[in-house]
């Protein structure tokens, strides 16, 4: 299975998502989007495949979101894309692309909807939260 993760290694959610992908035996294509930001066209393509508004992919915490006035509902997608282009940190993460779909994986266990679900092994997040129990069942 071909999987891509738009990843920030400084983010615990992103690290846990990457670990879950690898845990099911998939080595994804890792795009450190702060070093190699996706193009406007790629972002728009991801948004279209997710069937969500562009605004829903913007990150507020730890970004210049407020300073740039990005909460203004009158801003166009073009203006939002310009802000993301200038400040890639505004793009929320991790975004995962698989043959089963595209999703912003917050919380990290949301990635399991995009991965094979048979024969899951137990998995615990960095913070100790159990995501897959000893019987291979997702903990919700």
Q: Which residues are catalytic?
A: 11
Q: What are phi and psi of 48, to 5 degrees?
A: -65, -45
Bridging pattern class, strands 95-98 and 29-32: unpaired
How many alpha carbons lie under 13 Å from residue 93 in its C-beta half-sphere? 30
Tokens of 48: 């279209």
């Amino acid at each position: 299975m071909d999987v891509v993760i738009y990843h920030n290694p400084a983010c615990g959610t992103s690290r846990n998502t990457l670990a879950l992908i690898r845990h099911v035996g998939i080595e994804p294509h890792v795009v450190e989007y702060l070093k190699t930001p996706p193009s406007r066209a790629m972002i728009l393509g991801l948004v279209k495949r997710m069937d969500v508004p562009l605004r829903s992919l913007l990150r507020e915490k730890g970004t210049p979101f407020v300073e740039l006035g990005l909460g203004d509902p009158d801003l166009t997608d073009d203006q939002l894309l310009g802000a993301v282009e200038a400040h890639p940190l505004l793009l929320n993460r991790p975004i995962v692309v698989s043959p089963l779909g595209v999703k912003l994986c917050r919380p990290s266990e949301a990635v399991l909807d995009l991965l094979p679900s048979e024969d899951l092994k137990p998995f615990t997040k960095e913070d100790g939260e159990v995501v897959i129990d000893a019987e291979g069942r997702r903990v919700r």
